[in-house]
Amino acid sequence: MPEDPVPEMREWGVVRPEELERIVIVSPHLDDAVLGCSYLMARHPGATVVTVFAGRPEEYPDPMERWDALCGFVPGDEVHVARRAEDETALRVLDAEPVWLDFVEHSYLERERWVRPPAIVDGLAGAVERLDPTAVFAPFGLANPDHDCTHDAAMLVRDRLDAGISWFCYEDTGYKHIPGLLAWRISKLFRSGLWPTPAAVPVTADHERKTRAVGCYPSQLLALEADWQISVKLAAPAPEQYWRLAPPPDGWGMLSEI
Ligand SMILES: [Zn+2]
């Protein structure tokens, strides 16, 4: 009797080990990758985190802007230096390496000067390409303008780079609980023909190690607690779900129209 062919569905959700040989995580700010991808980094030592908004504004305002004030910074502090140091320490806990880009967060800029995706794409594409990744993890990019911008820029980078790279989105910790926003982004990607689908990425769900890494951002935790009750969400403990971005299976595309 002829053997049954292996059904296509056996592969859905599966991530092949070779896809995860060289992982790059794109982070909007100096903390988002650790908040959303610690278990991934714990399982795959040597990942690189490229943080987009790690630059210094021309001037720090006096008084400090709201977020920095919540973080406990005071006039005269070099906030980006302190935050980069936090990031370096946190990533060391997870055996990961930082790469910092010099874009400046929207909160320091007049609205018309906010950094937009086309301004980022060359720098981000170059940084990612130099790392020769097999997989890139980008944020869904929810609510916060820097997150939204980072997501859109990452999608432009995806269009440019080698089609052999696997792409995933991770859920923005804190922001994913804003009503409807994760659903909105997933629906938007779905309708664009890039179907986000939960992937069974091997991780090490070491909550203690994640807590230690997250604890390396004491300044950010103050503001994240004030605005988002971050401790409740991290204590749940919230899962880290990664979603593969890929076109639909042959013949399924019409679902995007319904
Ligand atoms: Zn952020």
What pLDDT is stored for residue 1 in this prediction?
63
| Residue 12 CA, ligand 1 centroid: distance in Å | 30
The C-alpha atoms of residue 140 and residue 185 are separated, in whole angstroms, by 7
Band (pLDDT 50/70/90 cuts) for residue 66 is: very high
Averaged pLDDT for residues 214-221: 97
pLDDT at 256: 81
Of 2-11, 123-132, 247-256, which range is least confident? 2-11
Give CA–CA dist 105/59, Å, rounded: 12
Cα(147) to centroid of ligand 1, in Å?
Answer: 6
Q: Average pLDDT in the 106-116 region?
A: 96
- Mean of pLDDT values over 200-211: 96
Using 50, 70 and 90 to split pLDDT, how confident is the model at 196? Answer: very high
257 confidence band (pLDDT: 50, 70, 90): confident
The average pLDDT across 1-7 equals 72
If pLDDT is split at 50, 70 and 90, which confidence band does 135 have?
A: very high
With a pLDDT cut of 90, the percent of the chain lying above it is 90
Evaluate if residue 5 carries a pLDDT over 80: no
Mean pLDDT of the region 38-42 = 98
The residues near 231 (Cβ < 8 Å, ≥ 6 apart) are 225
Interatomic CA distance for residues 18 and 8, integer angstroms: 19
223-234, pLDDT tens digit by residue?
999 999 999 999
Rounded to the nearest whole angstrom, what is the distance from the C-alpha of residue 134 to the centroid of ligand 1? 24
Measured in angstroms, how far is the CA atom of residue 252 from the centroid of ligand 1? 34
Task: Say which range, 3-12, 93-102, 235-244, has the weakest mean pLDDT.
Answer: 3-12
Q: How confident is the model at residue 34 (pLDDT cuts 50, 70, 90)?
A: very high
- CA 35 to ligand 1 center in whole angstroms: 9
Q: Residue 213: is it exposed, middle or buried by C-beta count within 10 angstroms (0-12/13-18/19+)?
A: buried
State the distance from the centre of ligand 1 to the C-alpha of 242, rounded, in angstroms.
17
Q: Give the per-residue pLDDT at 2.
A: 66
Q: Ligand 1 centroid to 87 CA: how many Å?
A: 13
Instruction: Kindly list the strands in the beta sheet with 48-51, ordered across the sheet, starting from the edge strand earlier in the chain.
Output: 97-100, 48-51, 23-27, 135-139, 166-170, 242-246, 195-199
Tell me the CA–centroid distance for residue 163 and ligand 1, in Å. Answer: 28
Proportion of the chain above pLDDT 70, given as a percent? 99
